[in-house]
Amino acid sequence: MAEHTTEHGSGLEATDIFVGLLGAGTIAGVVWSVVFGLFAGTAFGLEYFQVQLPQLAADGLHVASQVLPWLAAIPAAWFGYQFIIRLP
């Protein structure tokens, strides 16, 4: 009778997790920089063309430029990690 043996367990190796985390961090950094760049470009354009926004809109734009890049980067890192881990 032949016995069935497996070399690897069902878990992930440490290098797979490390590579997944590095890839997820890279993806999150790219998404963060794109969203931050959009807000920075908008702020520059408004200042360059001397567009005066109401105070409420200016405050909202400032808060959004501080919060939205992080809110975009966190799910991007999660989905990027999940994608990278499933690669062969």
CA distances from 67 to 1, 6, 38, 45, 73 (A): 63, 47, 13, 20, 10
Residue 12: per-residue pLDDT: 82
CA distances from 75 to 6, 38, 79 (A): 35, 18, 6
Burial-class residue 24 by CB neighbours within 10 Å (0-12, 13-18, 19+). buried
Residue 9: per-residue pLDDT: 59
Q: For 35-56, how does the pLDDT look when each residue is reduced to its tens digit (9 = 90+)?
A: 999 999 999 999 999 999 999 9
Residue 3: per-residue pLDDT: 55
pTM for the model stands at 0.82
Residues of the chain whose pLDDT is less than 50? none
